[in-house]
Chains A and B, each alone.
Chain A
């Protein structure tokens, strides 16, 4: 149905700065598929969605819909958009029209339906999203969740072949997320083809037949929900689906700001609600730095925390060394004792950069 090849998009700001948002996107979407697009912020998920109906024009690449390149000249774009519905994060209802008029405007003006016919159909779609009793209300009288459901009904009224959802629940109160997700889920059961950009992992897993994990301007990993969530092939995917948070320090020499580092560690622990780990983590880092202070080689530290299973670990890389500082003969015994006492498990690994120690915390 839709094939995307080597799609790129570069934004040029008014002062001439260029920002490449999409680097090389390739994918194929079949009829009846429900695809969730997940990934960290700023990786071009929304931009990708908006290039599909050409709300944004791609810088290069091809988008082929039903065998025709929609980027070619004289392609009937408005007809394409009629068949490609879009639901926005901020609803974008027409504020001057009632709920029913929002739904009937496009079918009347673009499909030439009579008002009677359009309203009859419109009420059906409103009933489908559970809002038939609100048909004469104005958008300003609705809650966020109701607005988004009207927006979905407005899209459905054009009988689209595919619906693009651009973060449909991100602007909603947590209490209203469910009603919108419910509507999307019922559409999925009716085999509506949908592309959903979302941050709701649980929802993505339940509703989708396929997941695109976007990272750094491209589709980094593409697979079924089981593959992406259960057995991700790539580190970035795993970090993302496991909701892994990271704090990284690179210490080049002895003059680095130690107090700034400990304060950052404390803030990191507080932000991810693990104040009880603040002491062990700072102690391990402190003692490791004591042990390593004899050497001039640069040190790389990563503190990670997974919001999925609440595990955290500290990774130390002592660059250019082969022997673990814990196993050296001249190691300070008290420091080694503290480190071993504070961590659940310690793994030592030889990498290209140097010796890597991983401490798993309680």
Chain B
């Protein structure tokens, strides 16, 4: 892939043209429109294709209806995209989360609200009974004083969420108490969302007030929805927030505090009357502004990029060291060392990266920083690759030259250093480069263990702006540049390494 890649990069105009073309095609695809049915109530859904975010109560309930085809998406942003290009007739999500601003910008409207409301609450570990009792006490005080209603009104009636101030903003932060670790999977206003480094929103304010009530500092981290329950059970966090519906099924695993608000679902359809015809230039300008400049959202990308770079570089470094160790074990004259190395390779080869990451984070290295755990996980798999790459490239040099070196009086190490190594390195470099480049992209799954890397940063921007493609194209471009820089860096290191 090296040659076409370089040629491609060299011609900037072609590159920019293709990226722009891609953008236009995707924008056009977004505006393709199909739905004509008018939906008034849940009965009208019969025969429709409905989008839902997987794991939500809406999805579970709709799935039980035989007359509706349910299409599952990971985020409401994806639902909006699918709705706009006609893949689905409507989608269902928390009504307050898709606020007027979002509806207007995306040309969608509320068809109707769900007939029933869903109680939401904060989730706690089963054994953590004392904390639940304290929370219920805190909540009832908040209710009786009318403050809860006040907070609720403040958030749910707001138009610009970033201008809503949190009552905890200027309050002194408790520093001496034990850290109260809070996990959320929501990055959608007004429940819980981040502005720069700060977390804001209705649930966030409740959690922060609760922390102040307990005299404990609060730390909020972002998890994948599916990873919240294991994080809670493995003691990585103490409380789950983010508009979690209280369901019987969830109550078997977790304990919920009293419900602090109830939420209606909303079915959203395309608004035929809306007119968003900015033209390409205007659209691009608006996207650029919304996704990068407003609330300094580019900071998400910058921080995510830095995380991705750190994970990649450290994993390559430690993975290579570990890989060399593995190779030496494989070639050791002690049989038990060979067995360990082979066993390690066989086991790791069979485990999907996501599963390995989850096992390491939630089971094995429970007390560790998630960044460290992800570096461990990627180093472990990279080491497997490095040891097998070393094996093939050293074998390719051949044993004859090794013997010739030994026969001249070189030690095994000297023979490797002066004769076998430089040649093996040359043979290994292309493979190493492509593996390192694909490692950059593979790190995008670290979102599973609450790391906000580059991909996760684009997800966060998407869930604020509800724009489907601009953030994705942006990170594609960044990954592209990263890959190019990586191959340049390795070329440089290789030149430096082969100088005798």
Known: A55-B403, A105-B418. A96 touches B426 (CB 8 A): yes
- How many chain A residues touch B (Cβ–Cβ < 8 Å)? 26
The interface bits of chain A over 98-110 (1 if a CB of B lies within 8 angstroms of the residue's CB, else 0) are: 0000000110011
A78 interface residue per 8 A CB criterion: yes
Q: Are B408 and A154 in contact (CB under 8 A)?
A: yes
The interface bits of chain B over 392-417 (1 if a CB of A lies within 8 angstroms of the residue's CB, else 0) are: 00000100110111111111001000
Q: Which residues on the B side are within 8 Å of A79 (C-beta)?
A: 409
Q: Are B400 and A81 in contact (CB under 8 A)?
A: no
CA A173 to CA B262, docked complex, whole Å: 90
A186 interface residue per 8 A CB criterion: no
- Shortest C-beta distance, B54 to chain A (Å), equals 52
A86 interface residue per 8 A CB criterion: yes
Further contacts, 11 of them, CB under 8 A, given A55-B406, A88-B404, A105-B418 = A82-B408, A92-B400, A92-B401, A93-B401, A94-B401, A96-B423, A96-B426, A106-B410, A109-B418, A110-B408, A158-B408
CA A93 to CA B398, docked complex, whole Å: 11
Q: Are B407 and A81 in contact (CB under 8 A)?
A: yes
Cβ contact of A78, chosen from B400, B410, B419, cutoff 8 A: B410
A297 interface residue per 8 A CB criterion: no
CA A355 to CA B410, docked complex, whole Å: 61
- Shortest C-beta distance, A293 to chain B (Å), equals 56
Q: Which residues on the A side are within 8 Å of B406 (C-beta)?
A: 55, 81
CA A154 to CA B404, docked complex, whole Å: 10
B422 interface residue per 8 A CB criterion: yes
Q: How many residues of B sit at the interface, in one of the four size bands?
A: 10 to 19
A85 interface residue per 8 A CB criterion: yes
Complex interface residues of chain A between 185 and 213 (CB less than 8 A to chain B):
none
Q: Are A106 and B403 in contact (CB under 8 A)?
A: no
CA A151 to CA B408, docked complex, whole Å: 11
A90 interface residue per 8 A CB criterion: yes
Identify the closest chain B residue to A157 (Cβ).
B408
Q: Which residues on the B side are within 8 Å of A92 (C-beta)?
A: 400-401, 403-404
A53 interface residue per 8 A CB criterion: yes
CA A93 to CA B422, docked complex, whole Å: 14
A-B contact pairs, 12 of them (CB 8 A): A55-B406, A78-B409, A78-B411, A86-B407, A88-B404, A91-B400, A92-B403, A92-B404, A94-B419, A96-B426, A154-B408, A155-B408
The interface bits of chain B over 182-198 (1 if a CB of A lies within 8 angstroms of the residue's CB, else 0) are: 00000000000000000
Q: Which residues on the A side are within 8 Å of B410 (C-beta)?
A: 78, 106, 109-110
Q: Which residues on the A side are within 8 Å of B404 (C-beta)?
A: 86, 88, 92-94, 151
Q: Are B401 and A82 in contact (CB under 8 A)?
A: no
CA A269 to CA B124, docked complex, whole Å: 94
Q: Are B400 and A90 in contact (CB under 8 A)?
A: yes
Q: Which residues on the A side are within 8 Å of B409 (C-beta)?
A: 78-82, 106, 110, 158
Where the two chains meet, the residues of A that have a C-beta atom closer than 8 Å to any C-beta of B are: 53, 55, 78-82, 84-86, 88, 90-96, 105-106, 109-110, 151, 154-155, 158
Q: Are A88 and B423 in contact (CB under 8 A)?
A: no
Q: Which residues on the A side are within 8 Å of B403 (C-beta)?
A: 55, 88, 92
- Shortest C-beta distance, A109 to chain B (Å), equals 6
Identify the closest chain B residue to A54 (Cβ).
B406
Q: Which residues on the B side are within 8 Å of A84 (C-beta)?
A: 407
Identify the closest chain A residue to B400 (Cβ).
A92
Q: Which residues on the A side are within 8 Å of B419 (C-beta)?
A: 94, 96, 105
Complex interface residues of chain B between 402 and 460 (CB less than 8 A to chain A):
403-411, 414, 418-419, 422-423, 426
Q: Are A81 and B408 in contact (CB under 8 A)?
A: yes
- Shortest C-beta distance, A106 to chain B (Å), equals 4
CA A95 to CA B421, docked complex, whole Å: 12
Q: Would you list the 7 A-B pairs with minimal beta carbon distance, nearest first?
A: A82-B409, A92-B404, A92-B400, A86-B407, A81-B409, A106-B408, A78-B409
CA A188 to CA B114, docked complex, whole Å: 102
Identify the closest chain A residue to B401 (Cβ).
A92
CA A105 to CA B403, docked complex, whole Å: 15
CA A106 to CA B418, docked complex, whole Å: 10
Q: Which residues on the A side are within 8 Å of B400 (C-beta)?
A: 88, 90-92
Q: Which residues on the B side are within 8 Å of A96 (C-beta)?
A: 419, 422-423, 426
- Shortest C-beta distance, B316 to chain A (Å), equals 25
Known: A105-B418, A109-B418. A95 touches B423 (CB 8 A): yes
- Shortest C-beta distance, A101 to chain B (Å), equals 9
Q: Are B414 and A109 in contact (CB under 8 A)?
A: yes
CA A262 to CA B54, docked complex, whole Å: 82
Q: Which residues on the B side are within 8 Å of A82 (C-beta)?
A: 408-409
Q: Which residues on the B side are within 8 Å of A53 (C-beta)?
A: 407
- Shortest C-beta distance, A192 to chain B (Å), equals 17
Q: Are A55 and B414 in contact (CB under 8 A)?
A: no
CA A82 to CA B410, docked complex, whole Å: 8
Q: Which residues on the B side are within 8 Å of A155 (C-beta)?
A: 408
- Shortest C-beta distance, B4 to chain A (Å), equals 28
Identify the closest chain A residue to B412 (Cβ).
A78
